[in-house]
Amino acid sequence: MTGNRYWSDYWRSGQTESCFGAAGPVDTGPVWAPVLAALPEGARVIDLGCGAGALARRAVAAKRGFSVTGADYAEALPPVEGVDLHEGAALEALPFADAAFDAALSQFGFEYAGAARAAPEAARILAPGGRLALLVHAAEGPPVQAARRRLEASEPLIAEDGLAHLARRLGEAAASGAPQQSLLQQAQAGFAAARQRAQDETSAWALGFLAEILNKRMLFPPDYLIENAGTVIRELTGYCARLRAMTAAALTQDGAAALCGRFKGLGLEMDEPQAARAANGDQIGWLLTGGKPG
């Protein structure tokens, strides 16, 4: 369960959305409206990998008398009104009884888990006649492509010889009285190289912040560089870990079909994966739907 620390930190920081295209959070409303409308009044609904409850909130807002549960292995999830939240709950070992739910839904959550264990768990907690609907990242879609570009911009900054570690080492050199000239030259070369790369808002923030603390380093004690470079390293490490997890979790069309096949092998009836699209036509994911025979 190595990834849950980064997600816990993310939700603790007050974020409420987690899937971004090039122009901001993706709008999944049109994907879920028909899925939620097709559920029976009063259905027991679970949001798997709920995070801050973006999907669980939609289920509550549908005002269909659903009893809504959220499960996620992260901790420090913000409370969501009307949702029974279970933190620290791995999708591979769900803390719920067999047949406890009429609908198992997930928005960009299920695909992060190990399918070999998470799929039987999702099938187990579904009641006979229950519905399954999973919106998973599409490897081909713009949000995942944007994540790859974001990684290309930010990962070099936290590489061992990247600017953030150089800034920290400069602080350490200043603290111990060691020479700083070569580190400064490396930092200048690092800024020049970064200017050649495309930046996103996070890497641009990190670059600006690193430039500022390096410029001001003579005005403060060495701890100033060490601590502030540490902040950049910590923030970017979590950011890149989440982006790497997203790109690794994303499914191609064949991968989505294989996941459907896995559920079929568990006795569920599954539809063909559908490309889920935003209003502008961009593919935001694959929607996998099916159900447990009654």
Ligand X SMILES: C[S@@+](CC[C@H](N)C(=O)[O-])C[C@H]1O[C@@H](n2cnc3c(N)ncnc32)[C@H](O)[C@@H]1O
113: contact with ligand X by CB under 6 A? yes
Q: Pick the closer one to ligand X by CB: 18 or 228.
A: 18
Which residue in the set 73, 101, 239, 263 belongs to the binding site for ligand X (CB under 6 A)? Answer: 73
Out of 45, 46, 83, 91, name the contact with ligand X by CB under 6 A.
Answer: 91
CB of 59 to ligand X, least distance (A): 12
Q: Which stretch binds ligand X (CB under 6 A): 43-51, 174-182, 185-193, 231-239?
A: 43-51
- The residue behind tokens 């269909």 is 64
Q: Which residues pair with 283 in a beta bridge?
A: 277
Q: Least Å distance between CB 151 and ligand X? A: 15
DSSP reduced 3-state for 181 = helix
Applying CB under 6 A, does 285 fall inside the site for ligand X?
no
Q: Contact at 8 Å (CB) between 164 and 158?
A: yes
Can residue 251 be called a binding residue for ligand X (CB under 6 A)? no
Question: Is 32 a residue that touches ligand X (CB under 6 A)?
Answer: no
Q: Is 55 in the site for ligand X (CB under 6 A)?
A: yes
**Rounded CA gap, 137 and 205, in Å?**
26
Closest-CB residue for ligand X? 51
Nearest CA among 119, 93, 80 for reference residue 256? 119
Record the tokens describing residue 192, joined without a space: 């020049």
- By beta-carbon proximity to ligand X, the closer residue of 82 and 222 is 82
Chain-centre distance of CA 6, in angstroms? 9
Write down the residue that tokens 């580190």 correspond to. Answer: 183
User: Looking at this protein, which amino acid is placed at residue 164?
Assistant: A
- Between the two ends of the chain, the Cα-to-Cα distance in Å is 34
- Name the minimum Å distance from CB 107 to ligand X: 4
Quote the CA–CA distance of 274 and 21 in Å, as a whole number: 19
Judged by the rule CB under 6 A, the positions of this chain that interact with ligand X are: 3-4, 7, 17-19, 49-52, 54-55, 72-74, 90-92, 107-109, 112-113
